[in-house]
């Protein structure tokens, strides 16, 4: 049986095409034309994925995105917008979106992106040990993160990004690697998606307190997970002596992390 999907689209023609196409792909689809109707449905039904047009009449699409994320915390949330500027992408991701597609978008690509998000993540083998980085403990079996024994709530992509960086703590992982491994090897969206997730993940780790690693942006290269909470590390400098070799990749995290299949 297919996934349970919610489509939030005000335009009759586009909404009908999306609902018909997604139903034809084997999913169970509910189509709602307004924000209030979508929120009411999300309160009654557990959805696997929400497809949201940000251009809602008479209300903020970003605020609706935020409220839908609160109503459906476990659902994949994909936003559609004619505005693809970096600020709009960042605002959408900060509001809880997992993906951002600029419209018009070819239907085939949209369906492929939906399918890619819905594919099951490979579970870690039972008994796979947790990974400990200071007070932070990452459980690859449960996909759960705790800091000093307290659970740290992360969105799915935030967890995936943390898990990918935790494979090689101290090593800079390139932007291309991260986009391919955490999102999609054929990603066509803006790379500002990665920046937005790095920023929110960094803030969540900092707010958790305790001895936790920091997400460091290495300008022009990528990101690394630094186990030393040193503010100077945020400047982007990196000591080659601290870099583990590729052979030091943590196999437990490697097995548990989801790698998105090609989008087309």
Q: CA-to-CA distance for 144 and 125, rounded, in angstroms?
A: 15
> Looking at residue 127, what is its pLDDT?
75
- Strands (DSSP E) found in 45-98: 49-53, 76-81
pLDDT at 201: 92
What pLDDT is stored for residue 121 in this prediction? Answer: 53
DSSP assignment of 40-56, as one string? HHHHHS--SEEEEES--
Q: How many CB atoms lie within 10 A of CB 154?
A: 20
Q: Is residue 154 part of a domain?
A: yes
Q: Does the residue 252 lie in any domain?
A: yes
Q: Is there a single domain that holds both residue 78 and residue 174? A: no
- At residue 186, the pLDDT reads 64
For the chain, what is the radius of gyration of the CA atoms? 19
Nearest to 195 by CA among 259, 264, 261, 100: 100
243 and 214 in a common domain:
yes
Residue 37 confidence (pLDDT): 93
pLDDT of the residue at 6: 96
Q: What is the structure's pLDDT at 94?
A: 75
Q: Could you tell me the end-to-end alpha-carbon distance of the chain, in angstroms, rounded to an integer?
A: 22
pLDDT tens profile 95-151: 888 888 888 888 988 998 888 788 755 556 677 788 899 999 999 888 889 999 999
Do 154 and 228 fall within a single domain?
yes
Q: Considering 118, 144, 164, which residue would you say is the last residue of a domain?
A: 118
Predicted confidence at residue 233, as pLDDT, reads 40
Residue labelled with tokens 């559609």? 80
Distance CA 11, CA 69 (A): 22
**Residue-level pLDDT at 41:** 94
Same domain, 159 and 109: no
Question: Cβ(121)–Cβ(29) under 8 Å?
Answer: no
Its pTM stands at 0.58
Among residues 118, 150, 180, the one where a domain terminates is 118
170: left (phi over 0), alpha (psi -120 to 50) or beta: left
- Give every CB contact of residue 221 below 8 A, 6+ residues apart in sequence: 172, 174, 175, 236
Same domain, 41 and 158: no
Q: Are residues 167 and 252 in the same domain?
A: yes
What pLDDT does 158 receive?
Answer: 87
Could you say which of 52, 86, 118 is where a domain stops? 118
Residue-range definition of the domain harbouring residue 89: 4-118
Please give the pLDDT value at position 168: 85
Q: Any idea what the CATH number is for the domain that residue 31 is in?
A: 3.40.50.2300
Low-confidence ranges of the chain (pLDDT < 70): 1, 57-59, 84-88, 120-125, 184-190, 228-264
Judged by DSSP in three states, 210 sits in coil
d(CA 36, CA 4): 19
Note the Cα 190 to chain centre separation in Å.
Answer: 14
């Amino acid at each position: 049986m297919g996934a349970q999907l919610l489509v939030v689209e005000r335009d009759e023609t586009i909404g009908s095409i999306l609902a018909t196409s997604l139903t034809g792909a084997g999913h169970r689809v509910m189509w709602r034309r307004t924000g209030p109707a979508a929120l009411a449905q999300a309160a009654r039904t557990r959805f696997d994925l929400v497809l949201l047009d940000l251009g809602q009449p008479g209300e903020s699409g970003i605020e609706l995105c935020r409220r839908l994320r609160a109503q459906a915390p476990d659902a994949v949330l994909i936003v559609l917008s004619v505005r693809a500027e970096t600020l709009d992408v960042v605002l959408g991701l900060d509001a809880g979106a997992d993906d951002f597609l600029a419209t018009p978008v070819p239907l085939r690509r949209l369906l492929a992106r939906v399918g890619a998000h819905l594919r099951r993540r490979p579970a870690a083998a039972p008994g796979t040990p947790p990974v400990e980085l200071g007070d932070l403990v990452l459980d690859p079996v449960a996909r759960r993160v705790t800091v000093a024994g307290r659970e740290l709530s992360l969105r799915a992509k935030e967890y995936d990004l943390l898990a990918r960086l935790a494979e090689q703590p101290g090593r800079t992982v390139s932007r291309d690697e991260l986009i391919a491994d955490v999102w999609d090897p054929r990603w066509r969206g803006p790379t500002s998606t990665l920046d937005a997730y790095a920023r929110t993940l960094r803030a969540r780790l900092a707010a958790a307190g305790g001895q936790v690693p920091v997400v460091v942006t290495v300008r022009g290269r990528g990101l690394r997970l630094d186990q030393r909470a040193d503010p100077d590390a945020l400047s982007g400098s990196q000591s080659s002596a601290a870099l583990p070799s590729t052979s030091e990749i943590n196999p437990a995290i490697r097995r548990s992390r989801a790698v998105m299949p090609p989008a087309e």
